[in-house]
Amino acid sequence: MQNKSIAQMAADLRLRTYSSVELTQHYLERIARLDPMLNAFITVATESALAAAERADRTLRSGETGPLTGIPIAHKDIFCTQGLKTSCGSRMLDNFIAPYDATIVERLAAAGAVVLGKTNMDEFAMGSSNETSWYGPVRNPWDQTRVPGGSSGGSAAAVAARLCAAATASDTGGSIRQPAALCGVTGIKPTYGRCSRWGMIAFASSLDQAGVMARSAADAAFILDEMAGFDERDSTSAEVPVPDYVDALDDDITGLRIGLPKEYFGEGLDPRVGEVVMDAIKEYERLGAEIIEISLPNSPLSVPVYYVVAPAECSSNLARFDGVRYGYRCENPKDLLDLYERSRAEGFGPEVQRRIMIGTYVLSAGYYDAYYLKAQKIRRLIVEDFKRAFEQVDVIMGPTSPTTAFPLGSKLDDPVSMYLNDIYTIATNLAGLPGLSIPVEPVDGLPVGLQIIGNYFQEARLLNVAHRYQHVTHWHQAAPVGFE
């Protein structure tokens, strides 16, 4: 059952080939048996999942079904889920039970999806390897000595290992696309504002965006169809009509203009990764697309810009975690200052503390103009680069990550090397554009991702372009050994 697409599962459920309870029990059994090897889940919601599956079966019997009725999914532990722990991978929120559902959680529940549990993640979504979690690192199902990518490594590993049909995730600088690439799954980050951020714990508010991890573009389209749309509770939500993503999957791509940024194929890219990515792009040529070389001259500046803007926003957003209202509180504080200092020092991990300190520094008097203001000006130049590019091309393609998955622990002591893992993904967040990663031919048995970037609110085109490639290739169907 776990190797079927969402469309196939939905058809089976409607035909009563098996029930949602049986399907949910199947996934829960796989999680119990296989997740100890991966640590992909923080919380497994056995009781509520089976109760939701029973409700889905009643709906199925009534004949009033949708495409997700009875389909078991998982949520990244950054999304508030009423009655379930929402930890954000941090000791700071280890005891936090959300009193409400995030908008996307609410919408997927209304569509009939069954929530199996909450997936592991880098603490407060800060990391590229899923090693900063208070609950321990997630392991890549393709090689358990390697990282799954981050910060949505738990969602990526769970989907790759067939522990759920799909999973929600979030992307601030590549946190959907990079782990999707390293784990061999499909991951889409929609346009900023396309999916509501209400109920998603904030890291960097001008960059964060909810998205989807699934085995294929078609599966991702089913989930995004239910997630996307305007939400009046989110002031950054875009009031733009949402097309039917599933309907657009099979559109013809003859004449598609694909832009190849020369900056994405230079120094720092593993030559073998570059080779298989180019092979995938040549497949698009065979499908009738046209390849055009373009330039994104300011994209090499995206990493330093991001590591000014994102920490600045995080230092503001995480000020609320003070040991007073909710979350972790230190033992026996001497006074209010001691409560603040020790609660934050003990509740936050090293990477979160590093980013809070950097962010506070760049926002401080005397440094705001030199760092934060300058970073925002360069961010505007990056946006203009993309605008010029999309006057020539329909989509932009390149590698998602410069390498395949690296060994656990190999970059923990070198933050700059860790940050460079997102060099091809960060610019998309700075510009607020949609981006998607799909698996292509592996290198030495490890997955490689092709990144596809679109213009604003062009998620339907991205999913269509990805689906056409997956229609003539099989890389997205491959399963890690032991998790078939």
pLDDT digits (tens, 9 = 90+) for 47-94: 999 999 999 999 999 988 888 999 999 999 999 999 999 999 999 999
Q: CB of 42 within 8 A of CB of 154? A: yes
Provide the percentage of residues in the chain whose pLDDT is more than 70: 100
The predicted-structure confidence for 215-229, as pLDDT tens digits, reads as follows 999 999 999 999 999
Q: Edge-to-edge strand order for the sheet containing 114-119?
A: 41-44, 114-119, 72-76, 166-171, 209-214, 186-189, 435-443, 446-454, 395-399, 257-261, 290-294
pLDDT recorded at residue 64? 84
Catalytic, out of 20, 151, 155, 401: 151
| Catalytic residue list contains 5 | no
| Cβ count near 341 (within 10 Å) | 16
Average pLDDT of the segment spanning 188-195: 98
Each residue's pLDDT tens digit, 413-423: 898 889 989 99
* DSSP-assigned beta bridge partners for residue 166: 214
10 Å CB burial of residue 83 (0-12, 13-18, 19+) is: exposed
Of the options 3.40.50.300, 2.60.40.10, 3.90.1300.10, 3.30.470.20, the CATH number for the domain spanning 1-483: 3.90.1300.10
Domain boundaries, the chain: 1-483
Assess whether pLDDT exceeds 90 at residue 483.
Answer: yes
- Here the tokens at position 434 are 């949609």
What pLDDT was estimated at residue 86? 98
245: confidence class by pLDDT, cuts 50, 70, 90: very high
pLDDT score, position 416? 87
Q: What is the identity of the amino acid at 211?
A: G
User: What mean pLDDT is predicted for residues 114-137?
Assistant: 97
Q: Which of 87, 90, 133, 175 is catalytic?
A: 175
Please compute the mean of the pLDDT values over residues 287-304 and round it to a whole number: 97
Secondary structure element (H or E) that encloses residue 439, with its range: strand 435-443
Is pLDDT at 39 greater than 90 in this prediction? Answer: yes
- Residue bearing the bigger pLDDT, 108 or 326: 108
pTM of the predicted model over 0.95: yes
Percent of the chain surpassing pLDDT 90: 96
Active site residue 76: yes
Residue 25 tokens read as 């029990």
Q: What is the mean pLDDT of residues 160-178?
A: 98
Q: Tell me the per-residue pLDDT of 314-363, one tens digit each, with 9 for 90 and over.
A: 999 999 999 998 899 999 999 999 999 999 999 999 999 999 999 999 99
Q: What is the mean pLDDT of residues 169-194?
A: 98
Catalytic residue among 76, 118, 189, 411: 76
pLDDT band at 458 (very low <50, low <70, confident <90, very high): very high
Rounded to 5°, the CA angle 237-240-244 comes to 115
- DSSP letter for each residue of 119-160: E--SGGG--SSS---TT----BTTBTTB---SSSHHHHHHHH
Residue 389 clears pLDDT 90, i.e. is over it: yes
Q: pLDDT confidence of 13, banded at 50, 70, 90?
A: very high
Residue 326 pLDDT: 87
Query: Mean pLDDT in the chain?
Result: 97
Token pair 């005397």: residue: 366
